Amino acid sequence: MNKDPIQAAVARALDLDPWLTNYKEDLALRERNYLAKKEAILEGAPSLSEFANGHHYYGFHRTEGGWVYREWAPAAAHLFLVGDFNNWQPYTHPLQAIGNGNWEIRLDGKDALKHGQRIKVLLQYQNQDHYKIPLYIRRVIQEVREDGSIDWLGQIWEPEEDYEWKTPNFKLSRHVPPFIYEAHIGIAQEEGKVSSFREFADLTLPRIKKSGYNVIQLMAIMQHPYYGSFGYHVSNFFAVSSWFGTPEDLKYLIDKAHSMGMGVLMDLVHSHAVKNEAEGLSFFDGTQEQFFVPGPRGFHETWDSMCFNYGKTSVVHFLLSNLKFWLEEFHFDGFRFDGITSMLYWDHGMGTDFTDYSKYFSLNTNTDAVTYLTLACELVHSLFPNALLVAEDMSGMPGLCLPPDHCGIGFDYRLSMGVPDLWIRNMKKDDHDWSVNEIYYEVTTHRPMEKRINYAESHDQALVGDKTLFFWLADQEAYWHMSKDDDNYIIDRAIALHKMIRFITLTAGADGYLNFIGNEFGHPEWIDFPRLENGWSYHYARRQWHLADDDLLKYSYLMEFDRAMIRFAKKTGIMGPKNIQLLWTDEHRKIVAYRNNAYIFLYNFHPTDSVENFVLPINREGSYQVVFSSDRKEFGGFGRIDEDYIYQTQTMDMADFDQGIRIYSPARTVLVLRKVADSEGNEVDAEARDAIDQMVAAEAKAQQALVIQQMKKSLDRK
């Protein structure tokens, strides 16, 4: 007898996380909502993919005899097409209502509309005329009038020839951990201006490739009227941001990245929309309810924007079509979903401490948003199984990265937002007050079966009014003491801790890693977009690559370290499965050591105290050698570690362990050791190393099973 699919999904979720037992009815509701919404959608379409074809129906399309333009505006009284094609005469080209809130106009002749012509749609509601930009427009441009005022207009975008892809069949590998390089196109060059897609492709992509990153995450791709919004106040969801160039320019960038073996993610904003009525979706047909939640809940006060109504099928249709459009038309390899927390909770997660599971399953949970995100993940993976989906959620919603048949939402990875918060907290403490136990806990903790993208600092910290990690560490000394012949204690500290922070963030339990453009070499200044307060200056809206390229400056140390760190992570295969074993922590000495597969990681976070003969527990006899050290001179270190020396394990008279080695552990340094010979002195070959890795993985899995068993017993006692 077949088991109820909803109860089967709940059972799978509880097997993974017994702490969810008290919320099995909430999990069942989550699964029921998802299946019911999907069933309702499939009544009118054979598949999710067919349902998500709004961009193939709405907007402007060539026909055999001319053009057709369709719009969705259920509450409007009349619609008229206006633009260059009719000298902006307001009422000469009315659209006809064709049912279900849809409108249509057909124009005879292939030249009725021409590539590059400016366009708008005039809607009549509340007995007034309202000029708007069509919902599915592919390009929007800014026009500055003689009086200094600004207008945004749609533009017909139908080049005579389609873009010819040079690498049309590129696919991200599901078996390679993502090393993500997050970037904003406009600030990516040295010159103080809005930089372009093609400049990024030709000048910045080679830098990213050289550094070893294999995925690029692009911000601000969808059209946004205010450049300084970082792209998070989207107005036109199917239009490539004209700040940086044309749609073909973006295709050129993505195509070139693919030819270099790098995937490209879009930083996708489906969590809210700009409130502008002239440029965006807000009150398009005269009602807030067309796209957004009715009443006050439809307005996000903190973000000054509008909140989508994910329970409305027509809104789900618009958003799912948007996903499919970017994947099909521009060959994106996936999405980083921005602001998931804001979507999941009616209070947007503002001021809520997610300290227990009850916070995830309550009347504050927007179940419609949960359902939409589940459908979105399913759609993307059905279209492109290799696509990468990353969720930005600070709440830690259970099941975010589980498949729907486990009561999950379906993302591949979650951004570990608690990790950068940890480092900022430490920046505000004395170095002696850093807790190595807290550090280890934060960088390794995860939900069952959840894959995490770890990162040391967010792009928000790079904005004016905040500080990057390097500026927290170095402050104004970065302006005066970054020459390699300038000895400065503050800079030495900043470089040492910057390296350690990034290394433990990457190597201690991460499934993927993310860096924001320039942070890898300690970019010294924040980003300040042009605005009235700074005289509309672009001086800080750029990246100073010359600092990292200058071999006379210490920035090059950090750049070289970042490249070596990425190479090390790739070569050793330490990313991915959670084979982390804590070996030792010492809060007084600020030492933490752990094993990741066959590698031993030893950190000394103490600001001053090096340990001459630190006893490092290993519990496996053999010979070990340092294979990586942050103290190398090419990384700005002092070269205190002899990496040719072989350490032989000894029997230690210790209560907590048997076998160990004695090793010099310098202050503010990380060392990595690898077994190079067994207890008989025989060199460990590749096959033996693989066996060691498998053994460690089995031990870690057994430990996880024991923890789950203990959790179940605890629940039974309750």
> ∠ CA(426), CA(428), CA(434), 5° rounding?
35
* Catalytic hit among 378, 392, 450, 560: 392
CB 639 within 8 Å of CB 651: no
SS (H, E, C) 603-642: EECCCCCCEEEEEEECCCCCEEEEEEECCCHHHCCCCCCC
If DSSP codes are grouped into helix, strand and coil, which group holds residue 701? Answer: helix
What is the C-alpha to C-alpha distance for residues 564 and 557, in angstroms, rounded to an integer? Answer: 11
Residues facing 625 on adjacent strands: 646, 674
Reading the block at residue 640, the tokens are: 């205190």
Residue corresponding to tokens 């997610």: 354
Question: In the annotation, is 151 catalytic?
Answer: no
Count of C-beta atoms within a 10 Å radius of residue 446: 18
State the virtual CA torsion across 472, 477, 479, 483 in degrees, nearest 10.
-120
Q: What are phi and psi of 6, to 5 degrees?
A: -70, -45
Contact 422, 398 (CB under 8 A): no
Using DSSP, how many helices (H) and how many strands (E) does the chain show?
18, 31
Sequence-distant (6+) residues with CB within 8 A of 129 are 90, 122, 123
Length of the chain: 718
Nearest CA among 88, 55, 659, 4 for reference residue 318: 55
Cα separation, 296 vs 358, whole angstroms: 25
3-class DSSP string for 43-65 = CCCCCHHHHCCHHHHCEEEECCC
Q: Pick the closest to residue 523 from 496, 489, 558, 492 (CA basis).
A: 558
Going across the sheet that includes 659-665, the strands are 611-617, 659-665, 650-651
Give the contacts of 311 (CB within 8 A, at least 6 positions apart): 368, 371
Give me 341's structure tokens: 């927390």
Residue 627 CB burial class (10 angstroms; 0-12, 13-18, ≥19): middle
Instruction: Write b or e for each residue in 191-211: b if 16 or more Cβ atoms lie within 10 A of its Cβ, otherwise e.
Output: eeebbbbbbbbeebbebbbeb
The Cα 717–Cα 51 span in angstroms is 48
State the DSSP code for 225.
S
Q: Which token pair is 415?
A: 């951004």
Q: In what order do the strands lie in the sheet containing 59-62?
A: 59-62, 66-72, 102-108, 96-99
With beta carbons less than 8 A apart as the criterion, state whether 675 and 692 touch: yes
Give CA–CA dist 123/118, Å, rounded: 17
Among residues 199, 249, 338, 393, which one is catalytic? 338
Edge-to-edge strand order for the sheet containing 669-677?
Answer: 580-586, 591-596, 599-604, 669-677, 623-629, 646-648
Q: What are phi and psi of 240, to 5 degrees?
A: -70, 135
Sign of CA dihedral 130, 301, 227, 330: negative
Q: In the numeric block, which tokens belong to residue 35? A: 């299946």
Quick one: which H or E segment has residue 116?
none
Known catalytic membership, residue 31: no
Residue 307 CA to residue 689 CA, distance in Å, equals 52
Tell me whether residue 428 is exposed, middle or buried, using C-beta atoms within 10 angstroms of its C-beta: 0 to 12, 13 to 18, 19 or more: exposed
- Catalytic positions: 338, 392
